[in-house]
Chain A
Amino acid sequence: MITTSLKRVGMLTIAGLLLAAPLTFFVAGAGAQGRVVYQTTRKNAGTPNSTNVTTNSSGVVISYGNSAITYNAPSPKLASLGQALFLQNCASCHGTEANGVPANGTSGAYPNLVGLGPATIDFWIESGRMPAADPRAIQAKRRPPRLSSKQAVAIAAWVNSLSPSYPDIPTPNLKNANVSDGAALFALNCAACHTIEGDGDALAQGTYAPSLRNIPAYQVVEAIRTGPGNMPRFTGNLSDFQVRDIVKYVTTEIQHPQNIGGLGLGGLGPVAEGFVGLLLGVGILALVGFWVGERQ
C-alpha cells in the first residue's frame, strides 16, 4: 500500500515537472523580450547574469561583465544614426529590416542579422569585412574598415534595437591576465585552425582561418564570443578570465613573438626553413666549392 502510494506521488511529481518545464522556458522566453532575464550558468559566458550587471534608471542593461572583460551595450541614442548608416551601407544585401531579405530578393540569400547581438555587428564592420567587397566571395576578407568605430557601434545599436540580444561590445582588461594560461588555452582551442604561431591557414573549399598578427584585443574577444564565419562560438567552455588570458597571449606573444634566434623567417615553419637550408646553406657552400674547385 505504502509503496504504491509513494509511487503515485513520485509519478505525479515527475508529471508536474514535465508540465512545468516548458512553462518555465516560456516564462523565461517572455522575459527575454525585455532584456532582464539573466543567464546564471557559464553555459553562455559573455552574456549578463544576476551578479555582474549595471543598469540605468529605467532598468536597461548598459554594461555587464567583470574585472576581466566588460561588455558595454551601444547607446540607444545612436540607433537613428545607425539606421541611416545601415540603409546606406548594408541594406542592399541584408534588407531594410536587417532580416536578410533584400528588396525584391529571396529570403535567406543573405544572413539575417536580427538578434545576433551588438558584438557580432561591431566585429564584422570594424574588421573591415563588411560592407563586403564581393558579396559572392566564399569568405569576406579582413580589410581596413570603411566605417569608423563610432559608425559601427551606431549600426550595432540600431540592429540591436530590433531585437535586443547579447553579447554586447567587449572591452578586455589585460592588466592581470596570465599569459601562460593563455598560451596553454590557445594551443588547446585556437591552434588547430589558426596554427600555433597564429598565422592562420587555408581550410577546406576556399575558406581559411585568418592571421591573428594584427587584430586588436577587443576584436579577438568578439570573435571568440560570437564565432564569425567558420569559427566556433566559444561560450560555455571559456570563462571571461580565460578569454582574457588568450587575448593577452595573442596580443603579446603571437603579435610580437620572441624571435630570440634571429630572423623569424615569416613564421612559415619548416617550409621556409627548408628553403633557407637548401638555397642559402647548401647553395652558398656549393658556390664556395665552385670558387675553390676546378671548373673544367
Chain B
Amino acid sequence: MSSEVINTKRAKQAAAGPYGKVGHALNELDDRLGVAKGGRTFLDKIFPDHWSFMLGEIALYSFVVLLATGVFLTLYYIPSTALTTYHGSYLPLDGQRVTEAYASSVNLSFAVRAGLLMRQMHHWACDIFIGAIVVHMARVFFTGAFRKPRELNWTIGTTLMILAIVNGFLGYSLPDDLVSGTGIRIAYSIILSIPVVGSYLGFLVFGGNFPGTMVIPRFFILHVLIVPALILGLVGAHLFLLVRQKHTQFPGKGRTENNVVGTPMFPVFMAKTTGFLLIVAGVTALLGAFAQINPIWQFGPYEASRISYAVQPDWYMGFLDGALRIWPSWSFHSFGYTIPLEVTVPAVILPGILFNIAYVWPAFERKLTKDFAMHNLLDRPSNRPKRTAAGVAVLALLSMLFIASSTDVIANFFHLPLNQVLWGMRILVILSPFVAYPVTWKICQELRVVEGGGKRKTTNVVTRTAEGEYVATAAPVYVDDVHSELEASEVPTFIVDETDKETGPGTRTVDR
C-alpha cells in the first residue's frame, strides 16, 4: 500500500474498524470488563417522566450544588473560636475582637473573589434542598409511593430529611455571628431539657458549658464530613433502591402494575436530567447573585452577653421555634430537680412524635388497610381520602407551627399586640389539623365521583337537529392534553441478546 491511499478518509475509517476509533477502544474495554451488556441495560432503562417525579431531582441537584460550593467555602473558612482582631474591608467591624470563625466568614464575603456568591449560593441551595425534600416527600406520601415494596426507601428518605435539617442547622451555626450564636444557645438549652441525660449530653456535645471553645470545630467536622458522608451514602442507597425497584407510575394508557412506561435513560432522560441539573444550579446562582441571604456582617459577632430581638432560624427549623414560642411555660420542680416541660415537650417530644409518625406510617397503613400487595401504580390523592386528609392535617399543623415562629414579625407588620398573636397562634395550631382533616376528606370525596376530575375541561358543543332535538357532544380534547409520545414506539435494538427469546420490536414499555 502506498502512503497516499492510507491518507484518504475512507482508508482511515477502514483501518479503524467498523466501530470507529472510539468504538474500537470501547470494544477493547468490553472485551476485558464486559460492561456493554450491563451498560446497555442501564442506558435503556425506562424512567416515567411525570413532572412530579422531578421534585426529588431538585433535591438531588441542589445537594450537588451544596457539595460544590461547600468545598469552595472550606478553603477559606477557619473553624476556630480563638479571638482575633478584625481588620478588613467592612469598617463597622474594624478593630473589634471576634472569633476566627466569624472573621474568616466576613473575609470570605468581602475579600475573597466570588466568596460571597458561593456563600449565598450555598445557603440558598440549602433552603431549596430541604424545601425540595419536603415537597418530594409530600408527593411520595400523597400518591402512595411508599407502599410495598418501597417502605425501606421511605425510611431512608425520612432519615435523609432529618439529616438535611440537622446539617442545615450545623452549617447555619458555623459563621458564629450574633443570630446563629443565639441558635446554638437555644440548641444547648434544648439538649439540657432532655430528662436525666440532658446535662451530661450537653457537656458531651459542647465539651463543657455553653458556649465553650469546642462547639465551632465540632460542628464544623460534623457539617463538612460526618453528616454529608451519611447523606451521600444514604442518597446512594436511595437511588440504588429506586433503580432496583424501578420507578412508580401513575395509572394510564398502557400502564400496568407490571410495566414501566416512560423514556429511556439514554438519550432522553439523560438529556432532560442533565439540563435540569444545570437549571437547578442556574436558579441557585441567580438567587445567590441577586438576593442577599444571611448578611452576617450586619449581625456582628456572637457574644453570650449580646442578643438581638426578632431572631428566627432558617425556615426548616421554623416549626421547632414556633412550638417553643407558643408552648405555655409549664415546668415543675421536685426532689431538687427542674423538669422544664416548656422546652422538653415542644422541642424534644413533639419533633420526636412527628418524625416517628413519618417512620411508622407505611406499617401503620398496611395494618389499617390490610393491604399487603405490591404497588407499582400510584394513587390519585383524592382516591385515598383518609390518607390525603391525614397528610394535609399534619402539613397544616407544621405550617401553623412554622408561622408561629414569626409571631413578633406578624405582630409588628400588622400592628397587632404580640400577646394576642401568640394566643391566636396557639388556637390556630391546635385547630388546624382538626379543620384540615374533614375539609380535605370532603373535597376528596367530592372529587372521587367527578368524571375526569383534575383534568382540563373541554367544551360541550350543542347542536340542534332538523327535528328540533338538542344534542350535546363533548369537543375533542385539547391538543396539549394529547400525548402521542406516550404511544409505544420502536427503539433501535443495539445488542441482540441470543438468550432473549422475545424478539418483538423493542418498545418503550418494558416488563418489570
Contact = CB atoms under 8 A, between A and B. Distances in A.
A joins B in a complex: yes
A292 B276 contact: yes
A291 to B, nearest CB: 8
B295 A271 contact: no
B252 A296 contact: yes
Interface string A233-252: 00000000000000001001
Contact of B295 (A200, A204, A261): A261
B109 A195 contact: no
Contacts of A183: 92-93, 96, 300
Contact of A196 (B95, B298, B419): B298
A191 B307 contact: yes
B310 A201 contact: yes
B279 A259 contact: no
A288 B279 contact: yes
Given A201-B309, A280-B287, A253 B298 contact: yes
A28 interface: no
Interface stretch (A102-110, A128-136, A262-270): A262-270
A127 B462 CA distance: 69
B382 to A, nearest CB: 16
B9 interface: no
A282 B252 CA distance: 28
A185 B406 CA distance: 26
A199 interface: yes
Q: Using C-beta atoms within 8 Å of the partner chain, give the interface range for chain A.
A: 35 or more
A262 B290 contact: yes
Contacts of B310: 195, 199, 201, 269
Interface string B381-421: 00000000000000000000000001111011000111101
Contact of A253 (B52, B92, B135): B92
A180 B54 contact: no
A58 interface: no
Interface in A172-218: 179-184, 187-188, 191-197, 199-206, 208-209
Nearest to B292: A261
A280 B305 CA distance: 36
A277 B51 contact: no
User: How would you classify the secondary structure of chain B's contact residues: helix, strand, loop or mixed?
Assistant: helix
A22 interface: no
Interface string B473-490: 000000001010110000
B216 interface: no
Given A183-B93, A271-B409, A202 B124 contact: no
A271 B406 contact: yes
B306 interface: yes
B51 A196 contact: no
Contacts of B340: none
A293 interface: yes
A276 interface: yes
A275 B318 CA distance: 12
Interface residues of B, number: 79
A258 B90 contact: yes
Given A183-B93, A258-B90, A264-B292, A269 B412 contact: no
A139 to B, nearest CB: 10
Contacts of B49: 293-294
Contacts of B377: none
B408 A282 contact: no
Interface in B84-116: 90-96, 109-110, 116
B305 A188 contact: yes
Interface in B275-321: 275-276, 279-280, 283-284, 287, 289-295, 297-300, 303, 305-315, 318
Contacts of A184: 96, 300
Interface stretch (B125-133, B201-209, B223-231, B424-432): B125-133
B287 A281 contact: yes
Contact of B308 (A182, A192, A208, A292): A192
B289 A262 contact: yes
A257 B294 contact: no
Given A201-B310, A204-B419, A285-B280, A268 B409 contact: yes
Nearest to B263: A294
A34 interface: no
B165 interface: no
Contacts of A11: none
Interface string B228-246: 0000000000000000000
Contacts of B311: 195, 269
A202 B418 contact: yes
Contact of A277 (B93, B124, B485): B124
A274 B195 CA distance: 32
A281 B65 CA distance: 13
Nearest to B53: A293
Contacts of A296: 50, 250, 252, 481, 483, 486
Given A191-B306, A249-B92, A273 B314 contact: yes
Contact of B132 (A187, A275, A285, A293): A285
A232 interface: no
Given A285-B279, A294-B483, A262 B418 contact: no
Contacts of A205: 417-419
A70 B283 CA distance: 53
A289 interface: yes
B284 A281 contact: yes
| Most chain A beta carbons < 10 A, residue from B110, B276, B284, B295 | B295
Nearest to A201: B310
A62 B196 CA distance: 66
Contacts of A208: 411-412
B417 A206 contact: yes
27 contacts: A179-B92, A180-B94, A180-B95, A180-B96, A182-B92, A187-B178, A187-B300, A202-B407, A202-B412, A202-B421, A204-B418, A206-B417, A206-B418, A208-B411, A253-B92, A265-B292, A268-B409, A274-B314, A277-B124, A278-B131, A280-B291, A282-B128, A286-B51, A289-B276, A292-B276, A293-B49, A293-B50
The 5 closest A-B pairs by CB, nearest first: A274-B315, A293-B51, A277-B127, A261-B292, A202-B411
Given A201-B411, A206-B417, A260-B292, 10 more contacts: A181-B95, A196-B298, A209-B309, A263-B290, A263-B291, A265-B293, A270-B315, A273-B293, A277-B128, A288-B283
